[in-house]
Structure 1
Amino acid sequence: MEALKLGYSPCPNDTFIFYALAHGLVPSPRPVEPVLEDVETLNRWALEGRLPLTKLSYAAYGRVRDRYVALRSGGALGRGVGPLVVARRPLRSLEGVRVAIPGQNTTAYLLLSLYATGFHPLEVRYDQILPLVAAGEVEAGLIIHESRFTYPQYGLEKVVDLGAWWEEATGLPLPLGAILARRDLGEGLIRALDEAVRRSLEYAQAHPQKTLPYLKAHAQELSEEVIWAHVRTYVNAFSLEVGEEGERAVRRLFAEAEARGLLPPSAEPLFL
């Protein structure tokens, strides 16, 4: 049976979730072929419909709703998980400030665009942002993933926590990323793949130490302490099942972005 290409990032939350599925340790309707890439690369590929199954920023999902549908499992939503803006010194405003961003299709950039105007974005890989800010090549950085835990090591300080800002404004968890399936796979296969992703996560939660070599292989610069902090932060109950509250959070994010002209509207259902 032909394998389905499955795109996800090398970040510990994704490698944790997909460890069992990638290694054939849980039932799946089709074997999967992992494709590990930076999330912004996956976001750009989704605009082309390149991968049948892929991790995606919710901001990018908002642009490909005609082609993809979100699985109910495997995503990243929650509280206390938001992107941060960091700088070498306090900033009263981002007006006119050069901000290194991890990609224009990331949820982080969408949130920053909802929060502030008048800044000057510079798009770079997420793991290059902290060194750029520390070197003074830009005034501020919009950080995601493990950078949330490591920015103090660069002598930087938090300017704003965009997740906390979102939670205070809406009372809802913050949607960051989802696992999407191309709609042309058909509802039956998509539902079976959703179950496979859920089982993969359940396996990892039951056997976390078995996943560690895989996590470390793709996050070689991170200590075990940071790896597990990353997993605890981004893998939670919403990762097993997005739930009604998670759905409301996604709809609210898309509605806010559509009202500002940051995302196109769509009538397609968001989840299975």
Structure 2
Amino acid sequence: MTEPLRISYSPCPNDTFVFHAWSHGLLPGAPPVDVTFADIDVTNGQAERGEGDILKVSYAVLPYVLDAYALLPCGGALGRGCGPLVLTRGEAGPADLAGRTIAVPAVRSTAYLLFRLWAAAEVPGGVGEVRVLPFHEIMPAVRDGRVDAGLVIHEARFTYRNYGLHRVADMGEFWEDTTGHPIPLGAIIAKRSLGEERLRAVTDAVRASVRHAWADPAASADHVLAHAQEMDPDVAKQHIALYVNEFTADLGDTGHAAVRELLTRAADEGLVPAVPHGTW
């Protein structure tokens, strides 16, 4: 019997929705998988250590792992109007973040990379301490005054007002306004050592799982909510609608151009290593 492929992704609704069919054996002929749920900071670290066969990671970590992993053209999160937000407890402007403590979901996250590009232009002198917290702990930390600001992702776009927080800036608006590209957030990568044939099988399985989810969204509903950390069902639906889109089925030329722009711009600023052309 074929050993299951080790796959790690977050318990967020977009990931559990996308991978439900594959992880539940609903795709005839797809390779079996052994699923681990993990926050993005954990999966980024797994990728850097070469742990796991298939991982959902931040696009920002690609320059550090592309020697061992290939970027798959499907399954990830890339889109418009879905960027990370910078939040504070009271009303504030970008200049008010100078020297302040900000919580982020991961130092190698795309959210933080976008924030660094934005802050270089908008925060005089830069922020102070950067503290990594699991994304679901960031808004409570800002609300309770344990940090001065928070960089949030995922469903926080829909719920931050429930915490009495204020939006300072939208990293997605910054990115789209300055580049015209959609926002690359989360990527699906697979080990190159699997070989071309198995990588094709993995890609086919991811695409089939996405299409299965779209064709029968009710099939995954209980699974999604079971892992959504007490998220309201309507918020979960909004989350899926925003992050699971045409780029999830196929990055295409537009998606790949957005990723190239992000990594090239970040490398030009000295924030990540340069990625040689054709590495993907």
- Is the structural similarity TM-score above 0.5? yes
Aligned 1:67-78 pairs, distance under 5 A? 67-78=68-79
1:66–1:268 CA contact under 8 A, matched in 2: no
DSSP 3-state at the match of 2:271? coil
Q: Percent identity?
A: 45
Instruction: Tell me the TM-score normalized by structure 1.
Output: 0.97
Partner in structure 2 of residue 119 of structure 1 = 127
| Deviation of 1:89 (Å) | 1.8
1:176 equivalenced with 2:185 (yes/no): yes
| Deviation of 1:29 (Å) | 4.4
**Aligned mates of 1:270, 1:13 — CA distance in 2:** 27
Q: 187, 197, 210: which is aligned to 1:188? A: 197
**Aligned mates of 1:90, 1:81 — CA distance in 2:** 22
Partner in structure 2 of residue 147 of structure 1 = 156
Aligned 1:203-222 pairs, distance under 5 A? 203-222=212-231
Which stretches in structure 2 are left out of the alignment for 5+ residues? 121-125
Q: 106, 120, 123: which is aligned to 2:109? A: 106
Partner in structure 2 of residue 14 of structure 1 = 15
Aligned 1:239-250 pairs, distance under 5 A? 239-250=248-259
- Give a deviation string over 1:234-271, Cα, whole Å, max 9, x none: 00000000010100000000001101111111326354
Question: Counterpart amino acid of 1:63?
Answer: Y
DSSP 3-state at the match of 1:63? helix
Question: Counterpart amino acid of 2:108?
Answer: N
Aligned 1:230-241 pairs, distance under 5 A? 230-241=239-250
Q: 129, 132, 136: which is aligned to 2:145? A: 136
Question: Counterpart amino acid of 2:116?
Answer: S
1:270/1:153 Cα in 2 relative to 1: closer, same or farther (>3 Å)?
A: farther
| Deviation of 1:27 (Å) | 3.1
Instruction: Tell me the TM-score normalized by structure 2.
Output: 0.94
Question: Counterpart amino acid of 2:38?
Answer: E
Which stretches in structure 1 are left out of the alignment for 5+ residues? none
1:157/1:23 Cα in 2 relative to 1: closer, same or farther (>3 Å)?
A: same
